[in-house]
Structure formats: structure tokens, C-alpha cells
Amino acid sequence: MSFGYSVLGFGAHPSRGTPFAAVIDDGMTEEVIVAGIPTGSEVTFTTNSGEIDMAVTATGGDGNYIYSWSMSEDDDPDAKWSIASNGTTNTARWDTATLNGARPPTQGEHIAVYTASCRVQDGSGGDITLSTQFICIGASE
């Protein structure tokens, strides 16, 4: 009588590769301060491309990464800010989004809080979403 069995020697297990992981560098943009010049009854603000600047570093998985950035407004008590453009959203570095704002010239600073999120996927089914908050401040010059 014989028994079927197999023996795997050292190193015989198939390689599983490096696990898929991603981190967001939110130290690039924590606060955006925009100054506007009063023009009659309003002060308008527009952030420039590059003022909102974040990056994601993905590692492991199969190395074929797909990036998808988005932005949402979390707190804008007086509804003075809006998203002008999400910019280029399919790259590891996200630095082309812009915001617009407007307020009466006598109101001082106006602050809004936004969340930037990046969904990172790889070709083997890895899927991670990372988010970070930043503050936008509009002030008169």
C-alpha cells in the first residue's frame, strides 16, 4: 500500500511578491492662504495651480498603478468657496486643482475645510483610498 504525499523543500513555495500599499504625503499642503483685492462690493479669490499640492506613493502589488483624485468641501459656513477645477486627477502627484471664493470686503478672513482623496488601484486587484484634509483661507490685501 502506498500513500500519496508531496514534500516541499526550502524555497519551494511560490513567491507572492510585495503586498500592495500606498501612503499620502499631506505635508505638501496643509493650509492655502489666498489674498484678494477688494473690487467694489466683493473680494474674489482663486487659488493658483500648484498651491494645492499632494502626492501618493504606491508600492508592491504588480506595479501597474491607477490613480484617481477627488476633492470635497467639508466645512464652508458662509458658502463662500467652491471647487473651480479638480485638475489632473490620474497621476500620483495632484497639484492642478483650484478653488474660487468671494466675500464682502468688510468680513475679514474666510476659512473653508476640504478633503482630498486618492483612490489607488493596481492591476492585480489592489484597491486603497487615502484621504487628508486641508484648510483654505481667503483674506483681503
- Tens of pLDDT, residue by residue over 67-117, are 999 999 999 988 888 999 999 999 999 999 999 888 777 767 888 999 999
Q: Which CATH superfamily is domain 22-140 in?
A: CFA/I fimbrial subunit E, pilin domain (2.60.40.2040)
Looking at this protein, which amino acid is placed at residue 114?
Y
127 has a pLDDT exceeding 70: yes
Using CA atoms, how far apart are residues 32 and 120, in angstroms rounded to an integer?
A: 25
How far is it, in rounded angstroms, from Cα 31 to Cα 73?
14
Model pLDDT, residue 101:
86
pLDDT at 27: 64
What residues contact residue 47 under an 8 Å CB cut-off, 6+ apart?
32, 34, 84, 97, 98, 99, 100, 136
Cα distance between residue 68 and residue 47, in whole Å: 21
pTM of the model: 0.78
